[in-house]
Amino acid sequence: MEVSPHHPFITTKLDDFVHWAQASSIWPLTMGLACCAIEMMSIVSPNYDVARFGAEKFSSSPRQSDLMIVSGRVANKMVPVIKQLFDQMPDPKWVISMGACASSGGVFDNYAVVPCDTFLPVDVYVPGCPPSPDALIYAIMQIRNQIAAGSKSQVLAGNA
């Protein structure tokens, strides 16, 4: 994006503009699976204020969401439900695996718990049990960077 010093207008490419708009208005899907969801909910509180980054509008409809935060352990029986929700989200869409349980089974690493990257294209992993709200916000920042760059890649977000 460029601002001309001689003319009061901004020039940009359509792709850059679309990426800027997407990165500035991420709408997460309202989907809490376990205790990690409590930390997820707190990112909209005044203490963390994720609205600073335009990501406070949690939608109850997958059709109006572009970010799925898998916040907690995924039981076997929930896999088809989560897959259906993901399929109902419009493209482009992104996935954060939040917490040890979602990424690897964590302390519930048994036959009934499934790591979410075995059935979802995870973009960013947030380690920890529970991960801090700051770490989740950092993961959202990584998603914003990916959108701005027009790319998708796997990132490990530090536990702040």
- Site for ligand SF4, rule CB under 6 A: 34-36, 72-73, 99-101, 106-107, 129-130
Angstrom distance (rounded) from CA 57 to CA 90:
16
- Nearest distance from C-beta of residue 12 to ligand SF4, angstroms: 40
Smallest separation (angstroms) from ligand SF4 to the CB of 90: 27
Distances (CA, A) of 150 to 47, 93, 129: 30, 12, 31
Q: Please give the C-alpha separations between residue 148 and each of 35, 58, 79, in angstroms, as whole numbers.
A: 31, 21, 30
CB of 130 to ligand SF4, least distance (A): 3
Using alpha carbons, select from 93, 92, 128 the residue that is nearest to residue 82. 93
> CB-wise, 23 or 37, nearer to ligand SF4?
37
Instruction: Report the nearest approach of ligand SF4 to the CB of residue 72 (Å).
Output: 4
User: Which of 20/119 has CB closer to ligand SF4?
Assistant: 119
**Within the chain, where are the H helices?**
14-23, 36-41, 79-88, 100-104, 133-149
Consecutive H or E run containing 93? none
Q: Residue 102 Cβ, how far from ligand SF4 at the closest point, in Å?
A: 7
